[in-house]
Structure 1
């Protein structure tokens, strides 16, 4: 292949490197586009469910899967049980503290659900036990079904740390794990009460967490790298044609 004073003479090693790297870069770009589509679908699902009317959780359990209830507004009736759990390393309005979770035994259905009740300040130091009151007897509550809060990578086995009688500090909220610890039959999701400290941030946090635009940005970067690789490959392998005067 010749371009006026230049000819394209691909070398072995640049060709092999390009043949290996180019498909990888393109695959990563298309993977990010697929992730963006998935996040867009999740965002649409969230928006549709967020504004639906509230349903009674005890009635919905028998008719809807756990995934179908995610982000739905629910009402629930029952009584609080023990133990209580404090999710560690939670910041609210710049202050460190805990999110408080308590199991609620449902009155009109078998089993219990973890309820995110509020945020509690850390106190003077980590040895201080936060104080809170738990309503006794039958309660009627309203909230929203939310995924269990995400946590970072656990570098060691998760330790459920006792702080007081029937009060434990944890580094993650996993209903299945806490069901084994408490011997309760817990539903596989969390209900965040409307008056919990983070409740007003549900919609903004969830919409921001889907991150479709971020994946589109990553896709652009991978495709740009692929284009740059091709350009470098062409430049490296373009050789000046010899002339009669050379």
Structure 2
């Protein structure tokens, strides 16, 4: 066997090492995201447990910071109505009835009025005081529900997926697999090389 066949090829080896390095870095990045997501979910759980009701935050950034807190707002006028897929408090599928509210300061807020089996049934509600929970969107899920509707399922931070650990394990597994496959390929290359005749 020649010396060239004994040595791993430079370019393929560099490519594999770079790829493995990237996969390992992605694995550690996912572990970092895991800790960030755990801290975020812990904050949401604390917000959910807080009993004090806050005024609907002004900006979208503040609204996201206050997700899962109880809040209140005054809807001066309904600018638009719509509906989206939703679940009631019993977990049954149906339709969440929503209203785009104009607030006293001119800003707008999406309010989930309540739940029904059919779409577009909340046509009577013209505004007023709303109490509820700030949900992702952001939107205020009315609690109690309005316009004679049933209660929507309460926003729950436990429904937010936290798959970062499994993603990290996958990246580390991909890196280890790449190394094993490359080592096996090198071994096969060496065995296939003709022995040098003395």
Q: Calculate the TM-score normalised by the size of structure 1.
A: 0.59
Indicate which of 60, 80, 84 corresponds to 1:83.
80
Deviations 1:76-130 (A, max 9, x none): 334442321223xx154564x53221133445x55342211123334xxxxxx73
Asked whether 1:198 is paired with 2:149, we answer no
Aligned 8 A contact 2:27 2:169 in 1:
yes
CA RMSD, 1 decimal: 3.3
The question of 1:99 aligning with 2:89 is answered: no
- In structure 2, runs of 5+ residues without a counterpart are 1-5, 146-150
Deviation at 1:61, TM superposition (A): 4.0
Q: 1:208-238: per-residue Cα shift (whole Å, max 9, x none)?
A: 31x33x1101110110111122223333334
1:139-164, Cα deviation, whole Å (9 max, x unpaired): 3331011221xxxxxxxxxxxxxxxx
- Equivalent of 2:64 in 67, 74, 77: 67
Q: Distance in 2 between matches of 1:17 and 1:218?
A: 23
Query: How far apart are residue 73 of structure 1 and its match?
Result: 0.4
Q: Which runs of 4+ in 1 moved over 4 A?
A: none
Q: Which has the higher strand share?
A: 1
Partners of 1:55 and 1:74 within 8 A in 2? yes
Contact 1:147 1:190 in 2 (8 A): yes
Where does residue 132 of structure 1 map in the other structure?
A: 122
Quote the Cα distance in structure 1 between the aligned partners of 2:122 and 2:106.
27
Q: Is the 8 A contact 2:98 2:110 kept in 1?
A: yes
Deviations 1:155-184 (A, max 9, x none): xxxxxxxxxxxxxxxxxxxxxxxxxxxxxx
The answer as to whether partners of 1:99 and 1:119 remain within 8 angstroms in 2 is yes
For normalisation by structure 2, the TM-score amounts to 0.71
Secondary structure in structure 2 of the residue aligned to 1:232: helix
Contact 1:55 1:73 in 2 (8 A): yes
* Contact 1:113/1:190, CA 8 A, preserved across alignment: yes
Partner Cα distance (1:135, 1:14) in 2:
68
- CA distance change for structure 1 residues 11 and 105 in 2, over 3 Å: closer, same or farther? closer
CA distance 1:117–1:72, shift in 2 (3 Å)? same
Q: Equivalent residue for 1:234? A: 183
Query: Which structure's relative contact order is higher, taking Cα pairs within 8 Å and 6+ residues apart?
Result: 1
Offset of 1:29 from its aligned partner? Answer: 1.3
How far apart, in 2, do the equivalents of 1:67 and 1:233 lie?
Answer: 46
Following TM superposition, by how much is the alpha carbon of 1:56 offset from its aligned partner in structure 2, in angstroms?
A: 4.0
Q: Distance in 1 between matches of 2:78 and 2:110?
A: 10
Q: Between Structure 1 and Structure 2, how many residues are aligned?
A: 179
User: Structure 1 pair 35/226, CA: closer, same or farther in 2 (3 Å)?
Assistant: same
